[in-house]
């Protein structure tokens, strides 16, 4: 998992990238609507009674400037109540529990979770990112059933994405610079492992990129829909011209997906 940096997420608290307008244009859905669809809900939900604590975690490489504030802002945009705990780590956890919150969100270098306190269930960011970006891809592509979809990256997010897209009836291929990782997913989930990343990319219109890779525009198919959580994120002018949609944000789609899924564990529908 790539570590986020303050500059990557600096636009998140104030939403300077205006993510909802961009997503509406590409997918016809807002972040919240994408997250609800990913959680299997087909109507709007009022989350205003859900109380969330975001705990800064200092272990490993430590606190990332703006990370907790970004998560807090994302959760508030979904209509939930949220705050960043004053204390960090176990101290912050203790504060959240004493405050009686419904959900705790926290991340270290390896794991980012939304924990529903009442259900005692956690939703992790790998699944949230894969599901959020798969829903965005599905909407931007006008459905994926029977379509060839390429997943780039056979790591945690890619592995989740492969299973989700396959369950929706897509013909899923997967590629990774370490071919044996793609091959392992072929064996486990019955998808197709492709060894040549460049030819896989240039022969697919629908792509979920779960790798920290940078793709030259000459490899992007005309009219391609690329759902791309991977950071660093960069598409050159040729790539941006050729693609019909390039769906990306550094944190919000995956985080919103986690929060909505977690909240719904203990909400009547
Ligand atoms: O609390 C903090 O500020 C830090 N401990 C946050 C650490 C955030 N974690 C990462 O950046 C992970 N490597 C990946 C997060 C996944 C986002 N898609």
- pLDDT-derived band of residue 222, with 50, 70 and 90 as boundaries? very high
Q: Can you give the pLDDT at residue 24? A: 97
Q: Which atom of ligand 1 is nearest to the CA of 129?
A: 18
Output the ligand 1 site: residues, CB below 6 A: 1, 3-4, 56-57, 63-64, 67-68, 107-109, 112, 125, 129, 251, 254
- Mean pLDDT on 11-34: 95
Predicted local distance difference test score (pLDDT) of residue 2: 74
Nearest protein Cα to ligand 1, atom 18 = 251
Closest residue CA from atom 2 of ligand 1: 63
Tell me whether strands 192-194 and 112-116 are parallel, antiparallel or unpaired.
Answer: unpaired
Using the mean position of ligand 1's atoms as its centre, give its distance from the Cα of residue 234 in Å. Answer: 20
- Which atom in ligand 1 lies closest to the alpha carbon of residue 106? 1
Every domain of the chain with CATH number 3.40.50.720 lies at 128-247
Q: Using a pLDDT cut of 90, give the percent of the chain over it.
A: 90
- Which pLDDT score is estimated for 269? 64
For the chain, give every residue range classified as CATH 3.40.50.12150. 6-125+252-266
Highest CATH level, class, for 128-247: alpha beta
Mean pLDDT to the nearest integer, 40-50: 97
Which residue of 12, 59, 71, 109 sits with most ligand 1 atoms within 8 Å of its CB, as the best mutation to test the pocket? Answer: 109
Note the pLDDT tens digit of each residue in 127-171.
999 999 999 999 999 999 999 999 999 999 999 999 999 999 999
**Tens digits of residue pLDDT in 173-197:** 999 999 999 999 999 999 999 999 9
Strand, coil or helix: 121: strand
With a cut of 90, say whether residue 214 has pLDDT above it: no
- The architecture (CATH level 2) of 6-125+252-266 comes to 3-Layer(aba) Sandwich (3.40)
Q: What is the per-residue pLDDT for 1?
A: 54
How much is the pTM? 0.96
């Amino acid at each position: 998992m790539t570590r986020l940096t303050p500059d990557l997420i600096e636009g998140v608290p104030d939403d300077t990238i205006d993510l909802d307008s961009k997503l509406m244009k590409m997918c016809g859905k807002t972040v919240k609507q994408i997250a609800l669809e990913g959680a299997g809900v087909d109507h709007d939900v009022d989350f205003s009674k859900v109380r969330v604590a975001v705990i800064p975690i200092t272990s490993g490489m430590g606190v990332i400037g703006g990370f907790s504030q970004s998560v807090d802002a994302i959760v508030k945009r979904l209509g939930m109540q949220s705050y960043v705990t004053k204390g960090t780590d176990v101290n912050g956890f203790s504060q959240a529990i004493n405050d009686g919150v419904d959900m705790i969100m926290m991340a270290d270098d390896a794991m980012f979770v939304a924990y529903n306190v009442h259900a005692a269930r956690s939703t992790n960011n790998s699944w949230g990112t894969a599901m959020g970006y798969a829903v965005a891809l599905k909407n931007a592509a006008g459905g994926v059933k029977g379509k060839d979809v390429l997943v780039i990256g056979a790591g945690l997010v890619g592995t989740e994405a492969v299973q989700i897209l396959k369950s929706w009836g897509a013909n899923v291929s997967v590629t990774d610079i370490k071919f044996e990782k793609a091959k392992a997913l072929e064996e486990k989930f019955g998808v197709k492992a492709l060894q040549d990343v460049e030819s896989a990319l240039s022969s697919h219109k629908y792509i979920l990129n779960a790798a920290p890779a940078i793709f030259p525009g000459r490899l992007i198919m005309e009219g391609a829909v690329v759902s791309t959580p991977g950071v660093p994120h960069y598409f050159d002018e040729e790539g941006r011209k050729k693609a019909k949609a390039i769906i990306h944000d550094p944190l919000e789609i995956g985080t919103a997906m986690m929060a909505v899924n977690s909240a719904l564990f203990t909400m009547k529908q």
